[in-house]
Each structure stands twice: as C-alpha cells, then as structure tokens.
Structure 1
C-alpha cells in the first residue's frame, strides 16, 4: 500500500501542477532547474482498533517538498496545493501494474513548514516549503 500511495501522490502532483515530481529515495539526485516537487516517505503508525485484532488503522505519512524560484512563486503554488489537497479525492494507482486504478484516498495536511537555506551558496535550497501530509487507511 505504501508503494502505491507514494506513486499516486507523485502522479497526482505532476498532473495537477505540470511540475516534475521526484520520488525521494537513497541516492536520488534533485534537478537544478526549479520549480519542482518532491515526495518522501516519513514515519508511519499502525494501531489495533478492535479487540480481536481483525481491524487495524494505518496512517501513512509523507513530506511533500515544494522547491521554487522565488518567494512569490512559492506562495502561489503553496496556496494552490493546499486548496487541492483540502478538496481533492486522489486516485490510488498501482505502482506495479501501470494504469490499474485501486480506488481513492484523501491526503490531510498536518503542517506547512517553510525552510531557509542552510548554506547560502546552495541555490537549490532557496524558496523551499514542506507539506507534512497523512493518508489514513483502515485494513
């Protein structure tokens, strides 16, 4: 499920924004040309919600990075992405079977975190913002 949700988020952001959306994993290289979006898995949580252990709640967490050319561009894209995530039902796509649709889910924003560049010579780090989002699933 984690793999499918990550793939679905990447596809969703590319379709909505038209921007390259990079799946963050060990060794990935970020583009030098901005704007672009990143999708990275964060810590998940699993909890038992029934006495007989037949129902579990899983919360999948992601950090979605927005990397832009200016503070104005960041603010405009931030507002658009926030609005879309609050309203849109996101199509759950199979990451292993191209074109297969598995259903839908909602992504809930838990935080929006603007980041300053740690190193002023690293221009790729300018005008960044991260959305912390959760996808709630009960199995």
Structure 2
C-alpha cells in the first residue's frame, strides 16, 4: 500500500503483472482496501499493456479488471500478430479503447458473423480498426 500511495503522489511508472492487478482490484472476490482499488483504477495517466496478443474474453477476470481503468490513454504492445479469433480481437480493442466498444458493438457483431459469407466484411472491419491499430514491423531481425 505504501508503494501504491507513493506512486500515486509522484506520478511515476508502476510495473505490475496482470494477475496482481486483477487481485488488487478485487475482481476475484478478495476484499482488498477500497483505496487500493481506487488508486489502480483512477490514477493511471497512461496504461501500457504488454503481451497484447493474449486473447481476452468476457469471462477473463483480467479483462474485466482492465476495462474498469478510467484513463483514456492506452497502449497495447504485441510482438506477434493477433490470433485468428475475431471476438478476441474485439475484446482486446475494447480494452485499448473503451469508446470503441460502445460505438461499434452491434456493427462488429454483424460484420464478424458474416466474414465467411461476405468478403467486404473483413475490409470493413479493417477500416473500423484502422484508427486504433498501428503496425510497425522490423525486418531482418
């Protein structure tokens, strides 16, 4: 708790594992102090998520905890392409941009269910996510 309070006051960098974040925000039913949850969910000015290729679904306690962070500034880092699961991609983008979830939920569901039948659906999904996804590839490494 002392470390969290110090971090909140100094606005420095806090590195924390997904599991510890989930536990400290109380998503698994543990009764941690309200102050701890509030610090972790309200204080971050920037949320940087590593290993972004890990698929998140609605049942994931980590996903639920990350969705509660109040900052709008978020970066997701991934060293590998996203898995071929359109629902996990949507859930990942919801963590990165909560406004995305609200704006495109129905349209995403419609497009993702018709990808097999409609080649244009995949192009529309690419167009929707283009403002959120920035790709940088290092060649020759």
With the shorter chain as reference, the TM-score category is: under 0.3
**TM-score, normalization by structure 1:** 0.23
The structure whose Rg is larger is: 2
- Which structure carries more relative contact order (alpha carbon 8 Å, separation 6+)? 1
Q: Looking at secondary structure, tell me which structure has more helix per residue.
A: 2
Q: Looking at secondary structure, tell me which structure has more strand per residue.
A: 1
